[in-house]
């Protein structure tokens, strides 16, 4: 029997073969699907335990650490990878497919990594490859946003590596698992937190994801933040600071989402908010909390990628991305509209949709461990989520807009949206399939209790009533809203100013001074014998010039100064002529004998 390989290798090898095989037209699309199907079949055969261990520089690198947690994340990563590839089948650029495959492979590598070094290696593969999904849009904004994305992830990667090194030096080479609170774990938390979009390290996310390609943003919305959540579940489960950070992220995300006009920027802020729920559940740390966080991760991947697919289709077919420019698409793009409503109800946690199950688990876990503030923050975020998706659907599909022209998206895009929407409803109606893959399989949670269903419907009805009553206040406006990146950008501009103005000014002055001195030395070196004469004339000139300011200047004195200057110029211009300074050979021999005599005398006296 063939031994199953870590699924990361299938995607990475698959990516490398895309340009080598040079597949055209009808052959390329089946190949892309085949790779993801192979990865899924391989995943089914992966058995719990540790395998694919290699010794490198005295350390054991583990590429397949398989348990319930990594398998749950692995399944959803491969399934959504398949759907995202299906959505992007019409893309002709091989480079986009290569970047997407390497990105998915890197993410799966992080999930199944059993040691910190291989985790770090796959972490960096993710960061480097994902940026191409932004740059492939080939616009100036994308290029700039991609560079900012890379800088932020370099910072996070450096922090993670620093933490790993400190951890290994202090505690030895350990498997990826719960960390004690020390300096190393603080650096690791910053590294993980940057990918999980902790406030205020989140700015790369709403800055770069809206700038990705239509299909690239679907991949981006899934993997980076979710691997961050996964490693937090591995290493920082039960940490209070993580739990409250989750609450802050949930509220902060919806608050900023409500202010956005760009559809994909609105979705990006909702990634932060939804990741906040996952982080909160993991921070609570109980079996219900961790299960809730991971269940929300699985559900979020489904409905968030569906939302990015819907908005990608809208942008692809209309060329417009701002809520102020959209509207009236419900009749023109009915499949996209229905898929978007399903995704909106899922993310809001409507009964019958997958978000209802997992959001309830996280909120219940916060209440169960005596964190009332956290529970209220998560409920508030729930209200905000419903409001902002009511706003998104209303202003994209239902508000009156005569000027818009569009037709339904290509078939492969529709098929991917329909399948993903089906999964959102299927898990919502039949949550047992989700519960069966969660890390703690002996935790019982019944989402469809009367109080939960009635409570959520009350929340939606009354929040919806406020939305309709204050529709004008919630309507989108052109412009941007400053976030924490304002401070980062201003700091960077300050550093650039420091380099360009004071430091560059100093450099120019130092360069001019040194150039002048080098020119003088070069001039002197043409005739070194003349240095004493030049020094003498120079001292004479300086003395005369100083005296000039202290006494009456007569015509004679002026003439004297001019004479000294001309003499100085004459000496400087004098070329070296060895015949002028040549002495008899006997003089040189005499000097050598004198030196030899004194050298011998000193040697004799010293010994």
Contacts with another protein, residue ranges (CB under 8 A):
254-256, 258-259, 364, 367-368, 370, 372, 375, 379-380, 382-384, 387, 449-451, 454-467, 470, 473-474, 477-483, 489
- Indicate the residue among 32 and 150 with the shorter CB distance to another protein: 150
- CA distances from residue 175 to 65, 120, 147, 234 in whole angstroms, order as listed: 9, 13, 33, 10
- Indicate the residue among 478 and 587 with the shorter CB distance to another protein: 478
Residue 144, classed as helix, strand or coil, is: helix
- Indicate the residue among 91 and 393 with the shorter CB distance to another protein: 393
The nearest distance, CB 197 to another protein, in angstroms, is: 18
User: Which pair of tokens denotes residue 563?
Assistant: 């004479």
Which are the contacts of 313, defined by CB distance < 8 A and separation ≥ 6?
Answer: 214, 333, 336, 409, 413, 414, 417
The nearest distance, CB 258 to another protein, in angstroms, is: 5
- Indicate the residue among 86 and 387 with the shorter CB distance to another protein: 387
- Indicate the residue among 16 and 379 with the shorter CB distance to another protein: 379
CB-CB contact of 174 with 235 (8 Å): no
- Indicate the residue among 115 and 375 with the shorter CB distance to another protein: 375
* Phi, psi of 105, deg, nearest 5: -60, -45
The nearest distance, CB 79 to another protein, in angstroms, is: 32
Which are the contacts of 436, defined by CB distance < 8 A and separation ≥ 6?
Answer: none
- Indicate the residue among 490 and 589 with the shorter CB distance to another protein: 490
The nearest distance, CB 464 to another protein, in angstroms, is: 7
The distance from CA 46 to its chain's CA centroid, rounded to whole angstroms, is 30
The distance from CA 368 to its chain's CA centroid, rounded to whole angstroms, is 34
The nearest distance, CB 155 to another protein, in angstroms, is: 20
CB-CB contact of 141 with 211 (8 Å): yes
- CA distances from residue 291 to 114, 145, 235 in whole angstroms, order as listed: 21, 35, 15
The nearest distance, CB 15 to another protein, in angstroms, is: 34
The nearest distance, CB 187 to another protein, in angstroms, is: 30
- Indicate the residue among 213 and 382 with the shorter CB distance to another protein: 382
Gap between the Cα atoms of 269 and 298, Å rounded:
18
**Nearest C-alpha neighbor of 135 from the set 146, 126, 150, 124:** 146
The nearest distance, CB 353 to another protein, in angstroms, is: 17
- DSSP class of residue 430? -
- Listed as own residue / partner, the contacts of 92-96 with beta carbons closer than 8 Å and 24 or more positions apart are 93/136, 94/18, 94/19, 95/132, 95/136, 96/132, 96/133, 96/136, 96/213, 96/215, 96/216
The nearest distance, CB 321 to another protein, in angstroms, is: 12
Q: Which residue has the tokens 């060329």?
A: 319
- Indicate the residue among 450 and 584 with the shorter CB distance to another protein: 450
- Indicate the residue among 451 and 607 with the shorter CB distance to another protein: 451
**Nearest C-alpha neighbor of 355 from the set 412, 279, 277:** 277
The nearest distance, CB 476 to another protein, in angstroms, is: 11
The nearest distance, CB 244 to another protein, in angstroms, is: 17
Beta-carbon count within 10 A of 444 CB = 6
- Indicate the residue among 258 and 287 with the shorter CB distance to another protein: 258
* Phi, psi of 196, deg, nearest 5: -85, 5
- Indicate the residue among 202 and 226 with the shorter CB distance to another protein: 202
| Full DSSP string of 164-193 | HHHHHHHH-S-BS----SSHHHHHHHHHHH
The nearest distance, CB 251 to another protein, in angstroms, is: 9
* CA pseudo-torsion sign 89, 92, 98, 99: negative
Gap between the Cα atoms of 170 and 168, Å rounded:
5
Beta-carbon count within 10 A of 99 CB = 24
The nearest distance, CB 288 to another protein, in angstroms, is: 11
- Indicate the residue among 366 and 409 with the shorter CB distance to another protein: 366
Gap between the Cα atoms of 380 and 585, Å rounded:
102
- CA distances from residue 434 to 124, 155, 228 in whole angstroms, order as listed: 30, 35, 21
- Indicate the residue among 102 and 254 with the shorter CB distance to another protein: 254
The nearest distance, CB 259 to another protein, in angstroms, is: 6
Which are the contacts of 370, defined by CB distance < 8 A and separation ≥ 6?
Answer: none
Gap between the Cα atoms of 194 and 571, Å rounded:
68
Gap between the Cα atoms of 530 and 576, Å rounded:
8
């Amino acid at each position: 029997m063939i031994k199953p390989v870590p699924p990361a290798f299938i995607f990475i090898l698959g990516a490398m073969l895309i340009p080598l095989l040079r597949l055209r037209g009808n052959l390329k699309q089946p190949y892309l699907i085949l790779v993801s199907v192979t990865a899924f079949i391989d995943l089914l055969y992966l058995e719990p335990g540790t395998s694919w261990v290699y010794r490198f520089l005295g350390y054991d690198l583990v590429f397949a650490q398989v348990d319930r947690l990594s398998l749950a994340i692995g399944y959803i990563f491969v399934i959504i990878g398949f759907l995202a590839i299906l959505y992007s089948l019409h893309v002709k650029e091989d480079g986009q497919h290569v970047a997407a495959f390497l990105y998915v492979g890197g993410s799966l590598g992080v999930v199944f990594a059993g040691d910190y070094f291989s985790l770090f290696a796959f972490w960096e593969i993710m960061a480097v490859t994902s940026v191409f999904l932004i740059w492939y849009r080939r616009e100036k904004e994308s290029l700039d946003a991609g560079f900012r994305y890379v800088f932020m992830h370099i910072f996070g990667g450096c922090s993670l590596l620093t933490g790993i090194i400190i951890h290994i030096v202090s505690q030895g080479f350990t498997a990826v698992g719960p960390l004690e609170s020390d300096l190393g774990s603080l650096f690791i938390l910053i590294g993980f937190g940057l990918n999980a979009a902790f406030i205020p390290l989140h700015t790369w996310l709403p800055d770069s994801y809206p700038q990705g390609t239509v299909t690239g943003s679907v991949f981006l919305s899934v993997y980076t933040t979710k691997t961050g959540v996964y490693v937090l579940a591995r290493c920082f489960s039960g940490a209070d600071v993580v739990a409250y950070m989750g609450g802050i992220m949930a509220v902060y995300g919806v608050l900023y989402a409500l202010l956005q006009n760009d559809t994909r920027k609105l979705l990006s802020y909702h990634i932060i908010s939804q990741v906040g729920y996952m982080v909160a559940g993991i921070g609570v740390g109980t079996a219900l909390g961790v299960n809730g966080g991971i269940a929300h991760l699985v559900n979020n991947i489904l409905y968030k990628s569906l939302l990015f697919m819907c908005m990608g289709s809208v942008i692809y077919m209309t060329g417009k991305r701002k809520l102020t420019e959209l509207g009236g698409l419900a009749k023109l793009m009915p499949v996209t509209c229905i898929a978007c409503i399903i995704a909106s109800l899922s993310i809001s946690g409507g009964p019958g949709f997958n978000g209802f199950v997992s959001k309830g688990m996280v909120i219940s876990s916060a209440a169960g461990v005596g964190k009332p503030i956290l529970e209220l923050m998560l409920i508030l975020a729930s209200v905000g989520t419903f409001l902002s998706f009511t706003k998104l659907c209303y202003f994209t599909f239902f508000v009156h807009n005569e000027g818009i022209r569009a037709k339904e998206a290509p078939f492969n895009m529709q098929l991917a949206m329909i399948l993903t929407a089906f999964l959102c409803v299927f898990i919502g109606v039949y949550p047992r399939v989700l519960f069966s893959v969660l890390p703690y399989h002996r935790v019982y949670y019944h989402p469809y209790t009367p109080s939960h269903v009635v409570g959520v419907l009350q929340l939606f009805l009354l929040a919806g009533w406020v939305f309709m009553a204050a529709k004008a206040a919630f309507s989108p406006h052109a412009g941007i809203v400053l976030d924490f990146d304002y401070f980062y950008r201003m700091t960077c501009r300050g550093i650039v100013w420091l380099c360009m103005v004071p430091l560059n000014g100093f450099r120019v002055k130092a360069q001019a001074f040194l150039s002048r001195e080098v020119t003088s030395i070069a001039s002197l070196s043409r005739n070194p014998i003349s240095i004493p004469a030049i020094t003498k004339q120079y001292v004479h000139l300086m003395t005369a010039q100083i005296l000039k300011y202290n006494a009456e200047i007569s015509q004679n004195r002026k003439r004297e100064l001019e004479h000294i200057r001309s003499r100085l110029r004459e000496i400087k211009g004098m070329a070296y002529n060895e015949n002028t300074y040549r002495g008899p050979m006997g003089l040189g021999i005499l000097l050598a004998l004198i030196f030899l005599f004194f050298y011998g005398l000193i040697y004799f006296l010293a010994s």
